[in-house]
Amino acid sequence: MKWFKKRLSRWLEGYRSKTIQFTIAIAFTGITLVGMLLVGVVLYTGFFSSTEAMMKTTNHRVVEQVGLNLDVHLKNMMRVSDTVYYRVIKKNDMALTHSSDEIGLLYDANKDLLVSIVILDGEGNILSSAPMAKPKKDLRANEQMWFQEALTKIENFHFSMPHVQNLFDDPDGRYRWVVSLSRAVELSRNGQVEQGVLLVDINFSGIEQIFNNVGYGDNGYAYLVSDTGEIIYHPRQQLIYSGLFQEDSLAFSAHEDGDYVGVSGGKNSVITVKTVGYTGWKIIGVAPIEAYSSDYLFIQIAGLLMVIFLALIIILVNQSVSSKIARPVERLQQSVEKLENGDLDAEIAIGGSYEIQRLGRTIQSMVGEIKKLMDDVVKEQQAKHKSELDALQSQINPHFLYNTLDSIVWMIEKGRKEESVNMVSALARLFRISLSKGRTIINVKDELEHARSYLTIQMVRYRNKFTVQFDTDPAALELSTVKLTVQPLLENAIYHGMELMDGEGEITVRTRIKDGRLWIAVEDNGDGIEPELCARLLSREAGDSAPKVSSRGSGIGLRNVDERIRLAFGQEFGLTIHSRLGWGTIVEACLPCIPFEEQNGDRKS
């Protein structure tokens, strides 16, 4: 770590010793190249994201179409089952009527989609079927899953996993793959109602055809899984069963319907999941991303060559520009060195581009301002010192102190010990914060504590006259303010707003941060101030004719507070008075947001 710091220090030292021409050229080139790199990354990322979004949309549409086709196909098979149940089974006595003809008509109408339609009793015996065929030897239909599920959950349709049709001997010796649609039915035999099962064996080739017609081409595929994650159909089903292909996206069958990005067959792919109604089956569409991004390498190479070409041009241009900037700047720097040595009468070199010439004139003007400011600073410091001394000398009015001590004596004589102790404590806190070790700048927290101590005294003297609320932004508590800012505002509100109140007076102290400034406001619901008087309260032109604060207060007037804020923080800050007769008055102090730590409590009079 020490070695690294040492090397970094040497590098920075060497960089500082370089000429301005070298610095400008390196800085401009570096910034431009970084900007180009960022723009390239953003464009590349945006292109990749838009391609991925387009793939998700395309894949989603394809899977939606497959789902729609499969849903229509399964609904057709359910409609066949309903027709057999309500038009054949419900209307006929299976012992008296030969229903095979009616079932045969339905089978013939849908024979491209069906393998067989079978009606069985509760023991698994075949009562009727289409087409007519010879049952297999040792047939035990009641042991098969589709039969048991139909009798277990009699209200639902049940779709089985694909299997070879195993009820009848096929005269052609073929093995037909089917999906069994079964349901529980009520059979009527010899006038007795009993439980039975209606089976519709769906030709699995119909489902295969739906997935084979998917519009992926060679760039993707879709497959079908059960609600338990078992594969019902997959275009590479034989390879999966033989262990030559592993379907990585199968884990997404447990996901909710939607579009995802995952790995399938070792390739990053867009994977879309959709649930098929009535069955719980899920269609999973897989589209490899690389199939749509074959031109990425070309874009990368072209972008890299473009960046290299632009970088060479930028380096040449920066060399030329930095050379034109450097020479007049170096001459100007020599003039500034003379100023640093205290020679305020040194001639300022003005030349080069418009900006450098303006900089030279600005420095020339600055020298004149420095001379003027040096004189103004002396005068301002004298005025500031006098103003702050006057503020300290007038912090506590003898009348206010006398009235407070008189109230304490009266409470002691009346035996109100606890109240007198509280009032003495409040007065002590008032003096402690008023002194503040000679500091004129304190934090807002202490200023509000001072205000509360002042109010403790005044609430005793003006019992039941008014109530006070503090609305304080916690972020403002550690900011800096001029000492004795809030108390004079409260004093003004009490003596000029609450004088005639009888339990209806309300004073609110609000502290907030807005637009990068600290605002401290004291609001009362008193009688308000006349517009002419309000305009004169803070007027510096009014001089001695400005309204005076009542001698009953602490002696620090609004104008005094305004001047101290302006003196401490600048002329753009200070007090603002908003008042309306019959409605009340708001006196608001505007201060900069300066953390108290920056002041270090060192601003002393």
Residues 397, 405: Cα–Cα separation, whole Å: 13
pLDDT in tens, 15-39: 555 666 667 777 777 787 787 778 7
Residues 484, 553: Cα–Cα separation, whole Å: 13
pLDDT band for 48, please (50, 70, 90 cuts).
low
Residues 6+ apart with CB under 8 A from 518: 444, 476, 479, 481, 511, 512, 590, 591, 592, 593
CATH 3.30.565.10 describes domain 394-599: yes
- The H-or-E segment that residue 23 falls in is helix 20-83
Q: What is the pLDDT of residue 394?
A: 53
Q: What is the pLDDT of residue 550?
A: 43
Residues of each domain in the chain carrying CATH 3.30.450.20: 18-294
Q: What is the pLDDT of residue 377?
A: 76
User: Which amino acid appears at position 96 of this protein?
Assistant: L
pLDDT over 50 at 175, yes or no: yes
Percent of the chain with pLDDT over 90: 16
* Residue 572, token pair as written in the block: 């753009």
The runs of H, that is alpha helices, within 462-530 are: 486-497
* Residue 47, token pair as written in the block: 């292109």
Residues 484, 451: Cα–Cα separation, whole Å: 8
Instruction: Determine the average pLDDT of the residues in 514-534.
Output: 89
Query: ∠ CA 266-267-269 to the nearest 5 degrees?
Result: 135
Would you say 524 and 493 are in contact if contact means Cβ atoms under 8 Å apart? Answer: yes
- The H-or-E segment that residue 316 falls in is helix 296-340
Residues 6+ apart with CB under 8 A from 557: 488, 492, 548, 549
Residues of each domain in the chain carrying CATH 3.30.565.10: 394-599
Neighbours of 302 (CB within 10 A): 11
Which of the residue ranges 39-48, 67-76, 127-136, 314-323 has the most confident prediction, judged by mean pLDDT? 67-76
- Tell me the residue length of the chain: 605
Would you say 153 and 182 are in contact if contact means Cβ atoms under 8 Å apart? Answer: no
The CATH class given to the 18-294 domain equals alpha beta
End-to-end CA distance of the chain: 47
Whether the bond between 131 and the residue before it is cis, its omega within 30 degrees of 0, is: yes
- The H-or-E segment that residue 249 falls in is none
pLDDT in tens, 235-285: 888 888 787 888 877 788 888 889 988 887 778 888 999 998 778 899 999
Alpha carbon distances (Å) from 482 to 316, 348, 537, 560, 604 = 56, 41, 19, 11, 11
Strand order in the sheet with 466-472: 466-472, 505-514, 517-524, 584-592, 574-580
Cα-Cα-Cα-Cα torsion 479, 483, 489, 490, nearest 10 degrees, comes to: 90
Give the 3-state secondary structure of 376-398: HHHHHHHHHHHHHHHHHHCCCCH
Residues 507, 490: Cα–Cα separation, whole Å: 8
User: Which amino acid appears at position 86 of this protein?
Assistant: Y
Q: Whole-number mean pLDDT of the chain?
A: 79
- The H-or-E segment that residue 77 falls in is helix 20-83
What are 508's strand-pairing partners? 469, 523
Q: Given the structure tokens 């102790």, which residue do they identify? A: 421
pTM score: 0.46
